[in-house]
Amino acid sequence: MHTESTLANFDEAVSQYGKLIRRFASKTCPAFETSETPREHEARARCTARKAARGQRDVPDASTDPVLASKATKKFNLQRFKLHNLGHNTNSIRQFGTLDGYSTMRSELEHRSTKTWYKRTNKTRTSTRQITAMEALSRYLRKIGTAVSSILAAEEHLQGLGSIKKPSRMHERYEMARSTKRKLMIGSFIREHPGDPAVKDFWERLRDFFISQLRGVRYDGEDTTYSNEERHRLHIKDDFLYEHSHLRINYTTYDVRRAQDSISLRTSRRDVMVPANDAKLDHPFWYARVLGIYHTFVSEERDGGPREWSRVDILWDDGGDHNYYYIMK
């Protein structure tokens, strides 16, 4: 897990390490004579003997050849990929995340494709060229297949035979449908639930919530109220709320990962926990059950100006002794 502060510390540590390792190579290493280990010396002698056996060089005499008789000098080498790559680690983490966030399985499995293509070649010096041609042909066929699938899916959607799955909008705080098929007329809804505690002061609180959102003011339930004159100057387009059954929420986990959760009115996943706005409570959270997921279009009457409709998304919950409306920001 990394944050910007830990990556900044990592950058500083790498910079300090670079200075120390260069000082080690330029000052400490020249003061010592270092040579290869006995194991390395033996391995070099065996390699030389193998090459001589294959006729690549004359067979040396270990007793007279100074190269084989003595151990080779070994010096510290800064020109190593591991040392060079240290400076790129922080940028790689910013672009791709830490190592536990992705896998090399996909690239490793790609070797199977190359091996399969190699079996179809004549296994001569031109095998590489033949594999390249087969890879290009496979890539073009994939492009054609993708284009055909897109065309068929678009036609299917236009004909009403199916729908194209929309990609997830991970850059947004939440995802709510834009559909206006399911409508809830506010006046009729209030008249049909005269004794329902959840609908008590529904008209007043709903308009107070809308006014707060249009004015950019935090809505704190009963602590945020407006006059009836201000409430009547608020217009709800066609007096409708548009109902939805699902809400998807994008959030950041404790280990700084992107994740998703959902609220669904069709299942038991409709209980939520929100920060308590009441300083008198000892507990910092409220627990509630979501009663509705809506959106609508509202406008506040202004003198001489054209009416501009603004979309407001609503999460209506029942917390027992309080009802709240939340705009997801």
pLDDT tops 70 at residue 242: yes
Asked which of 113-122, 147-156, 166-175, 287-296 is least confident by mean pLDDT, the reply is 166-175
**Overall average pLDDT of the 235-242 stretch:** 89
Residue for token pair 């983490």: 93
Closest by Cα among 152, 171, 169 to 161: 152
Q: Reduce the secondary structure of 282-321 to three states and give it as a string.
A: CCCEEEEEEEEEEEEEEEECCCCCCCCCEEEEEEEEECCC
Specify the pLDDT at position 258: 81
Q: How far is CA 3 from CA 111, 224, 256, in A?
A: 35, 37, 8
- Residue 115 CA to residue 75 CA, distance in Å, equals 40
Average pLDDT over residues 253-272: 85
Radius of gyration over every alpha carbon of the chain, rounded to an integer in angstroms: 35
User: Which residues lie closer than 8 Å to 187 by C-beta, 6 or more apart?
Assistant: 239
Q: For 185-207, what is each residue's pLDDT tens digit? A: 888 888 888 887 777 788 888 88
Q: Indicate if the alpha-carbon torsion angle 52, 53, 56, 58 is positive or negative.
A: positive
Angle between helices 105-119 and 127-158 (to 10 degrees): 120
Question: pLDDT at position 327, please?
Answer: 46
* Residue 54 clears pLDDT 80, i.e. is over it: no
Q: What is the value of pTM for the model shown?
A: 0.50
In angstroms, the CA 273 to CA 276 distance is 9
| Residue 16 pLDDT level (bands cut at 50, 70, 90) | very high
- Transcribe 140-201 into DSSP letters: HHHHHHHHHHHHHHHHHHHTTS--PPPPP-TTSSEE-----SSEEEHHHHHHH-TT-GGGTT
- Distance, in Å, from the CA atom of 253 to the CA atom of 88, rounded to the nearest integer, reads 26
Q: Which pLDDT score is estimated for 143?
A: 94
Cα 308 from Cα 300, distance rounded (Å): 8
Instruction: Answer yes or no: is pLDDT of 165 > 50.
Output: no
Q: What is the mean pLDDT of residues 205-231?
A: 82
- Write out pLDDT tens, residues 91-122: 888 888 877 777 777 778 888 888 999 999 99
